[in-house]
Amino acid sequence: MYIGIDIGGTTIKYGLVADTGLVSNKHKIATPTKKIDLYTVLKGIVSELSQQGVVKGVGVSAPGIIQKDGFMTTGGAITYLYGVNLKEELEHLLNLPVRVENDANAAAIAEKWIGNAQDASNYLCLVLGTGVGGGIIINDQVYRGGHGMAGEFGYMLTQTLDWEREIEDFSLNRTASVITGLCQRYNKEILSNGQANLAGDDASYIISLALSGDTIANKVLNDYTEAVSVGLLNLIGAFDPEIILIGGGISANTDFFEKLVQTFDQLLRAHDSLNYLKNKTVGQLKPTKLRNDAGLIGAVYQLHLDLLK
């Protein structure tokens, strides 16, 4: 068995992962604010779970730009991991084989193991959350790019630029993320209309309002699914994936996913060249299957493959 650890900006999820990908003994703990405390927590997790049997190694998923050798160019909100070779330091600390993988890449490759991409060799995973991340799988392998940054779909600029503003405001990280593209935009519209029913960061609340006929929520949701769909069309033209998996907590909302598919099909029909290729080469949209377990499963899967060589 393996130990899977998914380090997030606020929470660490962890558990035992069998050779089949089955996860057990799942727990979570707050992410420490200091590196030394993080290492103490990780050592404690491994010590705790090792009591369940022989552990072959530890798979770790984390945010940021991560090189194949485990060097963290960035670490998302976990700034004390910038410039750290997490694999080397954890192997020294834990005395076990360790694999460190970007969280979106881990989520993508996990779907190949036991998720919704088992029959695909070339696919994408678009993760909608605080930002817009992604994983690229080419010929059954994670594609990292020249510097480990491949899959940062959120950087894509998809709207007309206003040079008097920060141009990242026109990127998918702003328009297609759940927080800024949906929740904050809805709250802003509500305030500008003199209303008080703010949604906070509750995307499900906005979706339910839209489906019930709320004018503001419906407009914001339409604009949001259009922004996501524009990004999807660009990715299809660039990568020709067999499927595109949609991840992040919002992907579990069936009403949202149906709305996204509807909007995507509408844009596809309006694009002459891609519409001609529908049902020929245009990849299908699917939700991810593994949800919150995807990060720790995917990191373990990469380690599992390494140890089989």
Q: For 180-217, what is each residue's pLDDT tens digit? A: 889 988 898 888 887 777 888 889 999 999 999 999 99
- Residue 282: per-residue pLDDT: 84
- Residue 131: per-residue pLDDT: 83
Three-state DSSP class for 251? helix
- Residue 9: per-residue pLDDT: 82
Q: Residue 60 pLDDT > 90, yes or no? A: yes
Segment 88-96 shows an average pLDDT of 96
Q: For 6-51, what is each residue's pLDDT tens digit? A: 998 888 999 999 999 999 999 999 999 999 999 999 999 999 999 9
To the nearest 10 degrees (0 to 180), the angle between helices 203-211 and 254-270 is 70
- Residue 25: per-residue pLDDT: 93
Segment 91-105 shows an average pLDDT of 94
Q: What residue ranges do the domains of the chain occupy? A: 2-109+292-308, 119-288
- Residue 133: per-residue pLDDT: 86
Nearest to 134 by CA among 161, 111, 105, 112: 105
- Output the CA torsion 84→88→91→92 (10° steps): -90
Q: For 218-268, what is each residue's pLDDT tens digit? A: 999 999 999 999 999 999 999 999 999 998 888 889 999 999 999 999 999
Q: What's the chain's average pLDDT?
A: 91
Q: Residue 135 pLDDT > 90, yes or no? A: yes
- pLDDT grade, residue 270 (50/70/90)? very high
Domains 2-109+292-308 and 119-288 belong to one CATH topology: yes
- Residue 4: per-residue pLDDT: 96
Name 96's Cβ contacts closer than 8 Å, sequence gap at least 6: 46, 55, 56, 57, 58
d(CA 113, CA 119) in angstroms, rounded, equals 10
> Is 119-288 a domain of CATH 3.30.420.40?
yes
- Residue 143: per-residue pLDDT: 93
Superfamily of the domain at 2-109+292-308:
ATPase, nucleotide binding domain (3.30.420.40)
- Residue 258: per-residue pLDDT: 95
- Residue 201: per-residue pLDDT: 83
- Residue 228: per-residue pLDDT: 95
d(CA 177, CA 179) in angstroms, rounded, equals 6
- Residue 124: per-residue pLDDT: 96
Q: For 137-165, what is each residue's pLDDT tens digit? A: 999 999 999 888 899 999 999 888 788 88
Residue 200 zone, left/alpha/beta (φ > 0; ψ -120 to 50; rest): left
> Which residue blocks in 95-247 are alpha helix, DSSP H?
103-114, 172-175, 185-192, 203-211, 215-239
Question: Which tokens go with 60?
Answer: 């770790």
